[in-house]
A and B are shown apart, each in its own frame.
Chain A
């Protein structure tokens, strides 16, 4: 073998390995890439039309797919839409006749919880948004920035779809990605406002859209499904530690939701397991509840303020930039 080849090959191989590794790391964590939605940019059906078609398609006498309110709960007052409604707004409460948000705190499992109880008069007011209004990888923004850009009254971080190359992504009726993540649960927010949690191995994204899904998130797992806790003690996200800051969304009744964020990784707030999260959501009366991205991503935004204490390492506090949010607004 030529001596120059023997001399240069190790150097070239080392440089090739290093360059490829650096490129993989940059592509994963730094380089922004705009992706094209699978379903195209045009929405052929509005949310109102889709909700109306769901009502038409529902067979007579069939079980209502929308969750029924917990029988043990007292009747919740329903905001009545009116022409001119006085807006009541402070650090813990917002009401304008169409949207009512009540912020409360709780302490359980050595952890601080922040609960946003939401009642809306129309499913149009529960929405999702992408960071910088762009679908892609490493296109991120703080939850508060995306929320303020969309005039959100209340917002939480979403499923951080941009960190993965699989998992259903449907936002505002547009199909962005239909590839499933093995073993993952997806959350569908249907056009009529009801939440539906499915196993991606059993229900395709197209089937969800045919059911009337307006938004589909893919992180999970489902915490409470049809009133029953659906996680066990050993279920965790990948190999994550058991106690983490968490974000969850749940439905108590028709157009009645809870957004829950808890702190963690600090001496004040230990964090919770998925089972504890499920138990907490069920204690609030959720008949459907779903786990969203947690850890340093967990953020609760209300009326221009961050309510919880987001942290990734338990030492420094501040929002993590995320790819998407779920919010309440017009």
Chain B
């Protein structure tokens, strides 16, 4: 919700300039955070074991990936609205999937 609110406020002051990266940044924490956590919580609530382990460090790696993906989308959106480019944006594109994959592997190994 915070990402969506930020995107709406940013677009409001952007003189009508729109960026899909900015508007869809909220999907990162929603799809990669809220949905998996909800599924795992429901499985545990009904006494079923989640498919992955529940290691704290693996969770942290996954959260890091989500944070980098979300922040990368927001920064790319700001660049789109300003009309500029920066190759450093690839840093987010590298770190985010690496952390997400590391988190998945960590969960599998802990299980």
Chain A partners chain B? yes
Is the C-beta of B98 less than 8 angstroms from some C-beta in chain A? no
Cβ contacts under 8 Å, B18 to chain A = 239
Whether A239 contacts B89 by the Cβ 8 Å rule is: no
Q: Which residue of A lies closest to B87 (CB)?
A: A165
Whether A9 contacts B57 by the Cβ 8 Å rule is: yes
Is the C-beta of A241 less than 8 angstroms from some C-beta in chain B? yes
Is the C-beta of A17 less than 8 angstroms from some C-beta in chain B? yes
Given the interface pairs A24-B75, A163-B82, the reply to whether A238 lies near B17 with Cβ below 8 Å is yes
Is the C-beta of A13 less than 8 angstroms from some C-beta in chain B? yes
Tell me the complex Cα distance, A295–B81, Å: 12
Given the interface pairs A24-B91, A239-B17, A241-B16, the reply to whether A13 lies near B64 with Cβ below 8 Å is yes
Tell me the complex Cα distance, A5–B18, Å: 41
Cβ contacts under 8 Å, B71 to chain A = 17, 21
Q: State how many residues of chain B have any CB contact under 8 Å with chain A.
A: 28
Residues on B lying within 8 angstroms of A by beta carbon are 15-20, 55-57, 60, 63-64, 67-68, 71, 75, 78-80, 82-89, 91
Chosen A-B contacts, 30 in total, with CB atoms closer than 8 Å, are: A6-B57, A9-B57, A9-B60, A10-B60, A10-B63, A13-B64, A17-B71, A20-B91, A23-B88, A24-B86, A24-B88, A28-B79, A28-B86, A163-B82, A163-B83, A163-B84, A165-B85, A165-B86, A165-B87, A166-B85, A237-B83, A238-B83, A239-B19, A239-B80, A240-B15, A240-B16, A240-B17, A240-B83, A241-B16, A265-B15
Residues on A lying within 8 angstroms of B by beta carbon are 1, 5-6, 9-10, 13-14, 17, 20-21, 23-25, 27-29, 160, 163-166, 237-242, 244, 265, 295, 312-313
